[in-house]
Structure 1
Amino acid sequence: MPAACPQTPEPVPGRCGFLEVPESRSHRGGRTLRLAVAIIPAASGEPAGEPVVFMEGGPGGDAFDSIPFLVSSGVNRDRDLIVMAQRGTRYSEPNLACPEIDRFNVTAVGLRYDSPATGRLLVRAAEECRDRLTRDGIRLSSYNTPENAADFADLRTALGIDRWNVYGYSYGTNLALTYLRLHPQGIRSVAIDSVAPPKVVNLPWTWDSAAEGIGAIFAACEAQPRCKSRYPHLRRTLDEQVRRLEAHPLTLMAQPPAGGDPVKVDLDGGALVNILVANTVKAVDVPAALDELAHGNPERFARARAVDVGTVIGGFAHGMTQSIACAEWAPGFSERDVLKAGRRNFPGWPDSVLAQPPQLPFEHDLCRAWNVPDRTAIQRVATFSTVPALVLAGSFDMKTGASWAQVAARTLPRSTSVVIPGIGHWVVPQSPCAASVLASFLDRPSAPDTGCVAALRPAPFTITPDAETA
């Protein structure tokens, strides 16, 4: 149904409407959801017939916030681009935002990252959000990936589109693969970027991805003579700093990256690791930042720790995150499984750090509070398809390690796999070559031009003066 575009930070460069879908397709008579939809016209004067539909990451991310990145990457160069706010996210009704968790995140920068006391505060915030949402009559178990995929199937039908191309990143790859498995009709091609395959996404897996991405950064430094000479022992430096900060956390004042007054931050071992995984310190700066930290200058990491102070309260749908993570990712693996995965990847690190999966701290405690049913039997499944697919990964990705893209590719026999050196999470907006490969794939899904990849190398790392000789 046509409607005014949402009031986004940057105006939507197209026309908008909303899609109405049932909250639960297995429980008739429930509430109806309204999902905002935008159609951004092709930049070309002669657009191709099959549009591209985008699937946002998260889960819980704001798809409309990604439109500027998609447009600047040329995703709509020759085809209309369709963006829909996934169920439960910003610009959908209802919105499963949790301002309670946002406010916790703002204050948590001054708390021990992996302290049980911090975990209790996070769980309390999640409980408050869950209680509020359920009081409003929201069926949290209906905010899951299969229902999400069915919404996109309904969208194609509602728009009268015979065939379209699917592009998703991060959780959006999980959604795209689920959509391809459950609703293959009308899909011309699928591009997945920074891949989280439904078959393998679980809490211990986060340590595997973190280790792969960190290892790739260190290996790239080793391959650059100036970086190798200036920072010869990065893994040892990281290990030492994680142990040191976990035993003796730093409490200091730091200015948030978005500006404003300095705030108190706590920098312990868990915070250091999660700053790296979140890429709030750029990969090219990681060797220099670790060296500075080892020589008594924690400024880069302290400022990155303060990033959550700029959180837009209510901007991210944490309720959608927890409804999916607690139903589809957490079940079947215990806290001990997370710890074992951490020890396997980072032997010698403190257990207090390794007990918390990167980016999802205290998730088992959160899931006990969130209390949604286990859906892994129907969701932790591989997608087998002969639809042409493009599988993109960044070698520095610490959230969804590059090797996991190959897990998805194994059951997509008509897939083309590309690893972009020196790039982290969400490849296309960061790499003109990847954007070119995607454009070529959309033109010729069975034979994309990947020629630009062979000449790529990671960018030179930041080299700072030696603290002992400067």
Structure 2
Amino acid sequence: MTPEQYLAVFLALLGGEMNEPTFPELLNGGPDPRFPVTRAPCTRPVAPSEIDGQTVVCGTISVPEDHDSPDGDRLNLAFIVYRAHSLAPVADPVVYLHGGPGGGTVQSVASVSLFFDHLRGRRDVIAFDQRGVDASGPDMDCFETLAENVEDVADSLAGAEMPELEGRLVSECILELEGRGFDLPLFNTTQNARDVGSVMSALGYGDYNIYGVSYGTKLALETMRTAPDRVRSVVLDSVAPPQVALYDTLYVPHSQSITNTFAPCEANAICAEAYPEISQRFWDLAEQLQDTPLEVDGTTVDGRTLFSIFTAARNNWADPTTRGFTTYAPALVTQLEQGDVTMLRQMLQEAIPPQPSAEDALAGAIGLASDEQALAQAFVNALDQIELASGTAAQMLAQLEEDIDAAAAPVTFGEYFDDELERALAALPERSDQVAFSRDYLSLRFVTPSAGALIDLVRTHFDDLTAARLSSMIALLGADDVARVFDLIAVDNATLEAVAEGEFELLLYACQEDFIDGFNSAEGFVKTTESVGMGPLLASALTDPVPSMFTICDLFEERPRDNWLEPVTSDLPVLVFSGEIDTQTASSWGPLVAETLPNSQAIVFPEAGHGALLFSQCARDIGEAFLEAPGSTIDTSCASDLRLPYLMPDGSLLDVR
């Protein structure tokens, strides 16, 4: 951020809303009565990257649980609008469809701001949590299930091994949600796709663009198939095709990322001569290490460890320590074949790949005159100060925002009572007493708030003196205070609830719509893993035990839909991104989807993992150029510049572009 941007946030925090609120029409329910909008403060922190009510707007949108029955039950979808930086933005915004299923974005304002800021030069960017997910699913928390299993959940959180707990929690959560009236089969990608257009209509937009990542690409494809009205263009980044059995093929992306690591070397005559058949040698080495591991400074390196070194961290855009790994990959395999762990040790110590820094550049500079050396050193010092000052400014703005919020909404008597209730719980002498209290307390999450329920709670679980003290406080609670105490049941126990729910959001979608008539199965997973090129020892290590979801999905009913597992065909302009080292969605799946999208352009980026736009300016610029002119041919030549050289046995670097 620039000093001017920091100043704008600072002035907004000190002076309140300096300008008219963004989207004032949303203050009165929004422009589309079919999908009413309720404005709400954005989840903190918003500063320093944004200003609530000016650069970002948050709230909820009411949509039908079943779009074929618009007068039936409703769901609230949480949204954020990131306002375009331009004072004269274009009319067609970008809606971001997040991955998962599950794992929303609305509760992390800064992350979407960081990921898509390059698109906000001329366009609004909209994000929303999909139905049943995070901020769009607070009423779907399974607190009765948590209450019944609170002791086991707490023990699991403390590290106890309870392999049967996950299945029990999922089974009971299904029954709890059905008992509260949720129609679980309606939590699917087709209903989700119809939510997309509803959200955009609710916010007053006409034509719009879609940017989907991971599961968001599957949702984008279903939107193209079943609800394409007003969609102007689509970007699919890290593609999850509906026709691919994604859970059978969990290790296909890993295998392809390893193949892609070595393929440019094998395609180059000089590199291939220096490292003949290097891909197969990798798999042979992994099998050898799985049979006979190495010990490196107290770390056991078996085939799974080598497999992880080549796949796991490189897929994480936020981890800079693996940038440049491909350069060393053939040499690493060659050394390990010879029992030499020098390079592996350096990698484990994060000395390789080397990370560029101003200090290293200065230390390596040769031939600088004394004044040039002084200027260079002054620059390095100033750079350090800028980084320190920027970090300090960001922290201070975030803290200022928190303090101003606290001053504007001081602690209520209900929150004070909640703190006293927590202290009384901690004072209970026996763990069994604490568990019994927690069970009854958590069971109040979806009970109609009342002072009587709180009085019954404290009289049941505390001694006469403590119960009398707490009851006298309850008598002083107003209706808003009582409601706040009940709200805090969810806030105070979010960690326990996260353990109890686990991956329920993912399972709710995947198990109902992707595990159909043998499409995705434990047998298919093992068979596919054994066929991707690895040896039997490594394949066995990766598939035994089979991931728990293959058995847990049996707890859900299959909900097949016509054409759901078929390829999507559409004439819409589509840009398809894949990453060569993506270990979540295979690099081949983007071109596969493009085969049935005649107005598409597919690009596979070197050195990009999951979410290609996060790994290079090249990907971001190509995406932005496409949105400016969908359907036109985009210059993608910058992608070839991402290709890394290989370290040769003589220490030289070979350019294979």
TM-score normalised by L of structure 1: 0.77
Distance 1:170 1:58, change over 3 A: same
3-state SS of 2:528 partner = helix
Distance 1:35 1:271 in 2: 41
Distance 2:647 2:140 in 1: 40
Counterpart of 1:62 (choices 83, 94, 104) is: 104
The one-letter amino acid of 2:173's match is R
- Deviation at residue 6 of structure 1 after TM alignment: 3.5
Is 1:127 equivalent to 2:312 in the alignment? no
Match of 2:262 in 1: 218
- Deviation at residue 441 of structure 1 after TM alignment: 0.8
Counterpart of 1:14 (choices 35, 56, 63) is: 56
Write the mapping of 1:301-380 to structure 2, written as runs, cut at 5 A.
314=498, 318-331=503-516, 332-333=518-519, 334-350=521-537, 351-355=539-543, 361-369=547-555, 371-375=556-560, 377-380=562-565
Instruction: Note if contact 1:343-1:354 (Cα within 8 Å) is conserved in structure 2.
Output: no
Distance 1:241 1:45 in 2: 56
Deviations 1:245-285 (A, max 9, x none): 4787999999xxxxxxxxxxx98755764675443584633
Deviations 1:416-451 (A, max 9, x none): 222212211101121111111111111100115324
Counterpart of 1:384 (choices 563, 566, 569) is: 569
Distance 1:102 1:220 in 2: 50
Is 1:49 equivalent to 2:91 in the alignment? yes
Instruction: Note if contact 1:42-1:79 (Cα within 8 Å) is conserved in structure 2.
Output: yes
Comparing 398-407 with 80-89, greater Cα deviation is found at 398-407
Distance 1:312 1:355 in 2: 30
Distance 1:103 1:59 in 2: 27
Distance 1:248 1:376, change over 3 A: farther
The one-letter amino acid of 1:168's match is G
- Deviation at residue 18 of structure 1 after TM alignment: 0.7
- Deviation at residue 61 of structure 1 after TM alignment: 2.0
The one-letter amino acid of 1:425's match is H
Counterpart of 2:233 (choices 180, 183, 189) is: 189
Instruction: Note if contact 2:262-2:278 (Cα within 8 Å) is conserved in structure 1.
Output: no
In structure 2, list runs of 5 or more residues that go unmatched: 1-36, 147-151, 351-493, 652-657
- Deviation at residue 191 of structure 1 after TM alignment: 0.8
- Deviation at residue 91 of structure 1 after TM alignment: 1.6
Match of 2:116 in 1: 71
Deviations 1:216-255 (A, max 9, x none): 012246579899969995653454345644787999999x
Instruction: Note if contact 1:164-1:188 (Cα within 8 Å) is conserved in structure 2.
Output: yes
Deviations 1:148-171 (A, max 9, x none): 112112112222322100110111
The one-letter amino acid of 2:535's match is G
The one-letter amino acid of 1:58's match is G
Instruction: Note if contact 1:6-1:91 (Cα within 8 Å) is conserved in structure 2.
Output: no
Match of 1:262 in 2: none
3-state SS of 1:76 partner = helix
Comparing 201-210 with 272-281, greater Cα deviation is found at 272-281
Comparing 4-13 with 426-435, greater Cα deviation is found at 4-13
- Deviation at residue 172 of structure 1 after TM alignment: 0.4
**RMSD over aligned Cα, in angstroms?**
4.2
Distance 1:356 1:283 in 2: 31
Instruction: Note if contact 2:99-2:215 (Cα within 8 Å) is conserved in structure 1.
Output: yes
Distance 1:460 1:445, change over 3 A: same
Distance 1:462 1:176, change over 3 A: farther
3-state SS of 1:157 partner = helix
Distance 1:192 1:169, change over 3 A: same
Greater fraction helix = 2
Is 1:441 equivalent to 2:652 in the alignment? no
Deviations 1:27-69 (A, max 9, x none): 7887532211111111223211111101001111222344133
Comparing 294-303 with 23-32, greater Cα deviation is found at 294-303
Match of 2:27 in 1: none
Deviations 1:368-411 (A, max 9, x none): 24x13242644212211111111111122222122211221111
Instruction: Note if contact 1:423-1:458 (Cα within 8 Å) is conserved in structure 2.
Output: no
Distance 1:347 1:237, change over 3 A: closer
Counterpart of 2:285 (choices 240, 261, 265) is: 240
Instruction: Note if contact 1:164-1:187 (Cα within 8 Å) is conserved in structure 2.
Output: yes
Comparing 54-63 with 125-134, greater Cα deviation is found at 125-134
Distance 1:356 1:30, change over 3 A: farther
Distance 2:167 2:346 in 1: 31
3-state SS of 1:236 partner = helix
Distance 1:250 1:172 in 2: 41
- Deviation at residue 96 of structure 1 after TM alignment: 6.0
Distance 1:106 1:26, change over 3 A: farther
Distance 1:252 1:23, change over 3 A: farther
Is 1:80 equivalent to 2:124 in the alignment? yes
3-state SS of 1:44 partner = coil
Distance 1:102 1:322 in 2: 22
- Deviation at residue 107 of structure 1 after TM alignment: 5.0
Counterpart of 1:417 (choices 602, 605, 622) is: 602
TM-score normalised by L of structure 2: 0.57
In structure 1, list runs of 5 or more residues that go unmatched: 109-117, 255-265, 304-310
Deviations 1:328-366 (A, max 9, x none): 333324322222211221242324235369xx9233112
Counterpart of 1:450 (choices 623, 635, 642) is: 635
